[in-house]
Amino acid sequence: MNNEMRIVCFGAGVGSTSMTIELVRRKVPFDAVVFADTGCELPETLETVGVLDKWLKAKGLPGVTIVRNPKETLEEHCLRLHALPSFAYGGRRCTDHFKLRPMHKWIKSQPQAQATWRAGKRVIRYVGFDIEESERAKRSARAVLKMYDEQYPLIRWGVMRWEAQEICKTQGWDVNKSSCWCCPAMKKREVFELSQKHPGLLLARALTIERNANLRTIKGLGRSWNWSDFLLKGKN
């Protein structure tokens, strides 16, 4: 067994999808491709996970491993606590609890990762920041646990955002921005698009989270604005 584990941190957006395509094309080895599902992923995001999984397996490579918070989904968490995803309050706990921790827990359980650490090495995590996200990559590198060596292949290869999109198109994939359907980082245009694309199911559930939340310091899922007011009453 190779005692140095390499993980592709797959978010199903343009960055990590193009990075995975390029890792394969450049014959850079990896042992697992891991996607953390918050339980509130956009259908388009889950579709990309399925497409990449099939593509990898067809090449005899490891498919996508999906990990989750074992206790609850982000939606259940918000409803139980009468709260919004923490990003609405300026925090990152939703990413931490529903993305980073499930991924970390899964990696820690892998014999190959344990062998890597026993050998005094760090598990390599490939993260799909492109060259226009260099500042984000620097912040991420500062915060990463010591047991990981976080690497940014797209930055090393000098890949810009438009090039990352082109790389996805080489496979005929029109990859969208990945996100939760209740993400407070969404812009009004995106929320409007969501209401058109997924009116019954997702928007109704997002508005239920918003209505159920105790809002004191912020107005709603948009932080300084409320999704319900914006969509149902046309208020800005």
| Interacting residues toward ligand SF4 by CB under 6 A | 38, 85, 87, 94-95, 98-99, 179-180, 183, 185
- Closer CB to ligand SF4, residue 55 or residue 98? 98
- Closer CB to ligand SF4, residue 99 or residue 104? 99
- Closer CB to ligand SF4, residue 18 or residue 69? 69
**Strands across the sheet with 32-36, in order?**
64-67, 32-36, 6-9, 123-127, 148-151
Torsion over CA of 86, 38, 97 and 108, rounded to 10 degrees?
-160
Query: Minimum distance between the CB of residue 93 and ligand SF4, rounded to whole angstroms?
Result: 8
Instruction: Count how many Cα atoms sit within 13 Å of the Cα of residue 139 in the half-sphere of its side chain.
Output: 5
Query: Minimum distance between the CB of residue 181 and ligand SF4, rounded to whole angstroms?
Result: 9
Lookup result for tokens 């492109």 = 130
Backbone phi and psi for residue 8, each to the nearest 5 degrees, phi listed first: -95, 115
Query: Minimum distance between the CB of residue 183 and ligand SF4, rounded to whole angstroms?
Result: 3
β-strands 6-9, 32-36 pairing: parallel
Query: Minimum distance between the CB of residue 11 and ligand SF4, rounded to whole angstroms?
Result: 9
- Closer CB to ligand SF4, residue 11 or residue 153? 11
Query: Minimum distance between the CB of residue 99 and ligand SF4, rounded to whole angstroms?
Result: 6
Lookup result for tokens 């190959």 = 112
- Closer CB to ligand SF4, residue 99 or residue 125? 99
SS3 52: helix
